[in-house]
Homo-oligomer: A and B are copies of this chain.
């Protein structure tokens, strides 16, 4: 969130209550199905990402980790983030050094975001990578992951 931004927060609403519980249960289920374990720190980090209204920095997660005020140690959170990314539950937004929960029911898709430079909203979308993949193939590259980040102004922030 840009400090100078005077607009309403255009970012995704955080989940809470029943919706949050449902999302976490769904994650549990998906982990069980793939022989992975959604352990306590992993679940906690995912919960924090789902509750948030926008991208969170690693050190925001570290600070918020404990149910009381106690922070986590950095490796705890970074390991959880690695896991969540591997499983497709979360994405790292490289140009922000920040993390979001996957809004597209994850696993194995490419990450693409529209990021508002004013209010900090980061909207995930399903990119059409046809042309990019073709360019890679033409050069003989075997592509395993693609990230696309478009910066600009969201509809709300264009107005003011």
The chain A residues found within 8 Å of chain B, CB to CB, are: 94-95, 112, 114, 116-117, 123, 125-133, 135-136, 139-155, 158
A145 touches B150 (CB 8 A): yes
Residues on B with C-beta less than 8 A from A123 are 139, 141
CA distance A110 to B112 in the complex (A): 15
CA distance A136 to B125 in the complex (A): 9
B145 touches A151 (CB 8 A): yes
A94 touches B149 (CB 8 A): yes
Residues on B with C-beta less than 8 A from A148 are 132, 146-148
A158 touches B143 (CB 8 A): no
Which chain B residue lies CB-closest to A153? Answer: B142
CA distance A131 to B158 in the complex (A): 22
Contact of A147 among B95, B128, B131 (CB under 8 A): B95
